[in-house]
Structure 1
Amino acid sequence: MALTTDIVATYRNPAAALRRRAVGPPREDRALVTLMLACGLYYIAQWPRIAREAHADESLTLQALLGGALLGWIFVAPLLFYLIAALSHLVARLFGGKARWYDARMALFWALLATTPLALLQGLTAGFVGPGPAETLVAVVSFGTFLVFWFLGLRLAESGEFADAA
C-alpha cells in the first residue's frame, strides 16, 4: 500500500496500518526512513510559524530561525525519538511487553509520521491565525492524536504479534 494511503488508513484503524508497516523481519532502514520523513515534515510544518515570528520581531532573521529549526528537527529530534522509543520499550517490558526493540521504534515513528497532516495544519494555523484558541485547539488535537496512535501501536507491538509474524 502507498504511504499516503496507510497514513489515511491509520485514522480509521491504527493497528492495521501499523501492522502493514512493521510486520516482518526488522528493517532498520525502514524505521530510519519513517523517522526522517516524519521529522522532515514536522520541520516543514514549522515554516509558517517561523515566518510569522521573523516578520513580527525584526531582531530575528528568517534564516536563523529556519536554521535552528532544521538543526532541531533533522539532527537532534531523531536522536531523542530513538531514546524515547527505547525508554518506552523498557517501561513496557516492566509490564510484560514482548516486543523487539525495532517494534517499539516503529510504533513511535509511525505515530509521528501518521500525525504529520495534523502537524502541517497546526503549522498553518500558527502561521496564519497566530496565537489563540484556534492554535491551541489544533495543537491539542494533534498531540492527542499522536499519543493515541503511539499508545495503540506500542500496545500492539508489545503484545509480541510482530515478533511472532517475523
Structure 2
Amino acid sequence: MAVTGDILATYRGPRRVFARLLAMGPREDRMLAFLMAGCALMFIGRMPSLAREAHLTGQEQTMLLSNALFGIIFVAPLALYTLALILHWIARILRGEGESHAARLALFWSFLATSPLMLLNGLVAGMIGPGGELNLIGGLWFSAFLWFVISGMYQGYWVRPEVQA
C-alpha cells in the first residue's frame, strides 16, 4: 500500500498498519525515510507560523527559516532516535519481547502518520495565531501521536508474531 494510504489506514487501525510494517522486516532505510519525511513535513508546517512571526516582529524571515531547518532536519532526528532507545528500554523493563527496531518503527511511523495534523497545526499557527484553536489542534496532534506510539509499541513488544493479523 502507498504511504498515504497507510497514513489514512493508521487513523482507522494503527495496530493493523504497524503489524504490516513490522512484518516487512527490520529495514533501517525505510525507518529513516519515515523519519526524514516526517521532519520535512514538520518544517513545511512551521513555515506559516515563521512567516507570521517575521511579519509581526520585523525579524528576517530567512534567519527564522534557516534556524528552523537546522533544528528540524538535523537535531530532531537525533532526539527522536534517542527517544526511541528510551522507549525500547522502558518496554524491556516492562517485560516486552520486541527488538529495538520495533520502537524506532513505532515512533517514526507515528511521527509521519500524524503529519497531516502537524500541517494543520502549522496553518492554524500561521493564519490564526496563538489561542484556543491552536491549543485544540496541538492537543489533537499530541493525542493521535501518543495513541499511535502506544499502539505500535504494544504491537511490537507484547503481541506474539503468530497472533498478528
TM-score normalised by the chain length of structure 2: 0.95
1:135 aligns with 2:134: yes
The question of whether the paired residues in 2 share the 8 Å contact of 1:97 and 1:160 is answered with: no
Determine if contact 1:103/1:162 at 8 Å carries over to the other structure. no
Aligned length: 164
Secondary structure of 2:80 counterpart? helix
C-alpha contact 1:97 1:159 (8 A) present in aligned 2 = yes
After TM superposition, give the deviation of residue 162 of structure 1 in Å: 5.5
Matching of residue 5 in structure 1 with residue 13 in structure 2: no
Partner of residue 111, structure 1: 110
CA pair 45-134 structure 1, distance change in 2 beyond 3 A? same
CA contact (8 A) 1:99 1:162 kept: no
The equivalent of 1:120 in structure 2 is 119
- Distance, in Å, in 1 between the alignment partners of 2:122 and 2:111 is 15
Q: How does 1:149-164 map to 2 (within 5 A)?
A: 149-159=148-158, 161=160
Q: Which runs of 5+ in 2 are unaligned?
A: none
* Residue of structure 2 equivalent to 1:20: 20
Q: Would you say the 8 A contact 1:22–1:162 is kept in 2?
A: no
SS across alignment from 1:25: coil
Which letter maps to 1:44? I
Identity of aligned residues (%): 43
| Aligned partner letter, 1:154 | M
1:79 and 1:94 map into 2 onto residues whose CA distance is 23
- Unpaired runs of 5+ in structure 1? none
1:54 is the counterpart of 2:42: no
Please identify, of 14-23 and 122-131, the stretch whose mean Cα deviation from structure 2 is larger.
14-23
Deviation at residue 23 of structure 1 after TM alignment? 1.4
1:107, distance to aligned residue in structure 2 (A): 0.3
1:106 and 1:13 map into 2 onto residues whose CA distance is 16
Normalising to structure 1: TM-score of the pair?
Answer: 0.94
Tell me, in whole angstroms, the C-alpha distance in 2 between the residues paired with 1:32 and 1:120. Answer: 20
* Pair 1:80–1:105, CA change in 2 (3 A): same
| Runs of 4 or more consecutive aligned structure 1 residues displaced over 6 Å after TM superposition | none
Q: Distance in 1 between matches of 2:140 and 2:152?
A: 18
- Which position in structure 2 is the counterpart of 1:36? 36
